Homo-oligomer: A and B are copies of this chain.
C-alpha cells in the first residue's frame, strides 16, 4: 500500500495494527495523512538520509530479545547513521513486516520503537506495514546537518578517537551463542544501545574532521574511513576503551556498538565531553600517510603489529 498516514485510514487489519501502534506513540506521530510526509530542512542545513533494515534471523534472534528491545534496537541502529553524519533527526519512516503472533502484542514493538525515536528526537512521519513470517523492520531516518561530517575527510596528522567503551555487544552475542547468560555489564550494550546524536553534534562543533558509527566493528569501520579518505590509520590496540571483562582485541571486532569513531587534528576537552555526556572519549590512534599503495589500518600492541582477522559479520542465520 502507498498509505503514509497513521491515522485517517479505512478499515482493515493492517490499518488496525497501524492505529494500535500510533496510539502508543501519541504525539511522536507527526503526519498530514497524505501519500508522503511533508518536512522542512532548516535554511543552510543539508538533508541527510539513511535506511537500515533489522531482520529476524539475520540481525537478531527473537528468543534473545523482547519485542520492545527489537523495536528499540532497530530504531537506534538507523538513528546512529544520522549521528555518524552529525545530523539532527527530523523524521523516521518505518516499513515493518509483522508476523501474526507479533501482531497480537504489537504495542510492545511500538513501545520500543517509540522509546528510541523519543530519545533521538525523531518524529515518526510515515510507514508501511506488511504481514509475513519473520519480523523485518526497515527504518529510514531523515536528518538535518550544517554541515554533515562524512568519512572521507580524515587528514594525515589527525588523531583517531572513540566514544564510549567497546566490546559489550560482541561479548553478549558470544555468550548467547554458547548458551550462556550474558553478563549484566555486556547485555545492556547489546539490547539497549544508544545513538550518539548529541555527542556527535558536540564533536562536530569541536573540530571532528571525519566520523563513522561503529556498526561493523572498530576494525572494519576504521578501514571504511581509511579507504574513503585515502589515508592510513594506526590504532593502538591497548588504548581501545573496553567494557569490563573484554580484551582490547575482542573489542576491536565487536559490531553493533553504535559508538562513534572519528578523527580530529587537535585534542578534545575530554573532561568537558565526559562531564556532559557521562561516557569516555578516548584517543586510540593517528592518521598517517599510506605506507603501501592502498589505504590501510594497522593495529599495534607496543612494538608488535596485530592481525585482527576479518571484520565483524552478523551471526549466520
A residues at B contact (CB < 8 Å): 1-5, 8-10, 12, 32-41, 43, 46-53, 55, 58-59, 77-78, 80-82, 84-85, 87, 91, 93-95, 97, 125-128, 130-134, 136, 138, 140-143, 145, 148, 150-152, 212-213, 215-216, 220, 223-224, 227-228, 311, 313-314, 317
Contact = CB atoms under 8 A, between A and B. Distances in A.
B58 A36 contact: no
Contact of A80 (B2, B34, B55): B2
Given A8-B224, A138-B95, A81 B2 contact: yes
Given A38-B46, A311-B10, A52 B85 contact: no
A248 B137 CA distance: 38
B127 A51 contact: yes
Given A2-B215, A130-B58, A215-B1, A50 B36 contact: yes
Contact of A50 (B4, B84, B148, B311): B4
The listed residue with most B CB atoms (<10 A of its CB), out of A12, A40, A59, A81, is: A81
B128 A10 contact: no
A131 B223 CA distance: 24
B126 A50 contact: yes
Top-4 shortest CB links A-B: A36-B50, A35-B84, A34-B150, A2-B215
Contacts of A145: 38
A131 B38 CA distance: 32
Nearest to A313: B12
Contacts of A2: 50, 52, 77-78, 80-81, 84, 213, 215-216
Contact of A95 (B39, B53, B228): B53
